[in-house]
């Protein structure tokens, strides 16, 4: 039937139903993100080595769903204030609560009682620093909702993104799998959690990858390189994900110091006079 032969009221009803379906699509991906975060917490409570790995994988899937819901909302023009708030609440669970609980259990639960250190105090240190990570995650998300991206466009985030910080935790646990048994490494692990929290609340700029033209036609070489990268990540996920996550975290810090020293020691113009 020709579109012109359909009554206007019926066409409007069909368009309204289609529109509601488009609005639901980003929410479904956000719900999948939330589901992965919830599953990661439940898997962590079981406490086996495989359960820790499953929890880390679930956080990785949550990162994927989180990147897709925003991109789909932008492509379909369905950005709403409700979607922004729903996404932030889901991120608190998947990238705040889930990695904090997982990191605490993985870094403390297997420490032997006979260690030459007060295990109870180590546990207190652990949950406090994991709480710092969680608070910094919520702080980072609230600041992003208010301030948005870094000035000058959407190329950079202000502070380390919460999915990237959670990704470091998940990648390390997925890479090493066996929980920590040495109290010294446990202390290092919990300090790393606090450092990730500091990076999230810092003003260090991190590349957002939002300006990548993924929806445009790409050269064959770029497609081949992307497929090879995906294949390597799939086969050697334990090593590749740790390298990717830690490199991203370190690159932001390194570039921040480069910009700082370049600005600090940049030669001043000769015609500038001090008042």
pLDDT at position 22: 59
Of residues 3 and 139, more confidently modeled? 139
Q: How far apart are CA 267 and CA 264, in angstroms?
A: 9
pLDDT at position 212: 65
Average pLDDT rounded to a whole number, residues 227-240: 87
For residue 209, pLDDT over 90 is answered with no
pLDDT at position 273: 47
How is residue 82 written in tokens?
A: 């409700």
Closest among 162, 156, 255, 140 to 211, alpha carbons compared:
156
Q: How far apart are CA 120 and CA 184, in angstroms?
A: 14
Domain residues of the chain, as ranges? 13-264
Residue 91, C-beta contacts closer than 8 angstroms, at least 6 positions apart: 33, 66, 137, 141, 162, 163
Compute φ and ψ for 109, nearest 5 degrees. -60, -30
Closest among 198, 84, 223, 94 to 139, alpha carbons compared:
198
The dihedral region occupied by 139, where left means phi > 0, alpha psi between -120 and 50, and beta the remainder, is: alpha
Task: Tell me which residue has tokens 């090593």.
Answer: 239
Tens digit of pLDDT for each residue in 46-71? 988 889 999 999 999 999 999 888 77
Average pLDDT rounded to a whole number, residues 110-138: 93
Exposure of 100 in the CB half-sphere (CA atoms within 13 A): 24
Percent of the chain with pLDDT over 70: 82
According to DSSP, residue 215 is labeled: T
Q: What pTM, to 2 d.p., does this model score? A: 0.83
pLDDT at position 70: 76
Strand extents, DSSP E, the chain: 156-158, 205-207
For residue 211, pLDDT over 70 is answered with no
Confidence band for 274, pLDDT divided at 50, 70 and 90: very low
Q: Domain 13-264 falls in which CATH fold? A: 1.20.120
Closest among 207, 214, 208, 206 to 75, alpha carbons compared:
214
For residue 244, pLDDT over 60 is answered with yes
- Comparing 85-89, 125-129, 172-176, 186-190, the range with the smallest average pLDDT is 85-89
pLDDT at position 150: 64
Confidence band for 201, pLDDT divided at 50, 70 and 90: very high
Closest among 17, 40, 158, 156 to 90, alpha carbons compared:
40
Compute φ and ψ for 156, nearest 5 degrees. -130, 145
Q: How many CB atoms lie within 10 A of CB 168?
A: 25
């Amino acid at each position: 039937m020709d579109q012109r032969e359909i009554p206007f009221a019926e066409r409007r009803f069909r368009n309204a139903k289609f529109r509601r379906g488009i609005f639901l699509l980003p929410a479904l991906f956000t719900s999948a993100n939330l589901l992965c975060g919830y599953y990661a917490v439940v898997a962590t409570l079981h406490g086996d080595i495989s359960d820790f790995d499953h929890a880390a994988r679930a956080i990785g899937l949550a990162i994927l769903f989180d990147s897709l819901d925003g991109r789909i909302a932008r492509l379909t023009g369905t950005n709403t204030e409700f979607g922004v708030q729903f996404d932030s609440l889901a991120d608190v669970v998947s990238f705040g609560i889930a990695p904090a609980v997982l990191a605490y259990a993985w870094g403390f639960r297997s420490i032997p009682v006979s260690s030459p250190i007060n295990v109870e105090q180590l546990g207190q240190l652990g949950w406090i620093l994991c709480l710092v990570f969680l608070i910094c995650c919520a702080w980072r998300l609230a600041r992003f909702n208010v301030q948005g991206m870094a000035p000058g466009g959407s190329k950079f985030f202000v502070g380390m993104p919460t999915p990237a910080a959670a990704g470091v935790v998940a990648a390390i646990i997925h890479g090493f799998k066996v929980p920590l048994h040495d109290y010294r490494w446990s202390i290092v692990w919990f300090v790393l959690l606090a450092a990730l929290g500091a990076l999230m609340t810092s003003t260090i700029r991190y590349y957002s990858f939002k300006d990548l033209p993924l929806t445009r036609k790409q050269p064959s070489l770029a497609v081949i390189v992307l497929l090879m990268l995906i294949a390597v990540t799939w086969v050697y996920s334990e090593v590749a994900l740790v390298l990717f996550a830690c490199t991203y975290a370190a690159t932001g810090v390194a570039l921040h110091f480069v910009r700082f020293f370049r600005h600090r020691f940049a030669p001043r113009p000769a015609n500038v006079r001090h008042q």
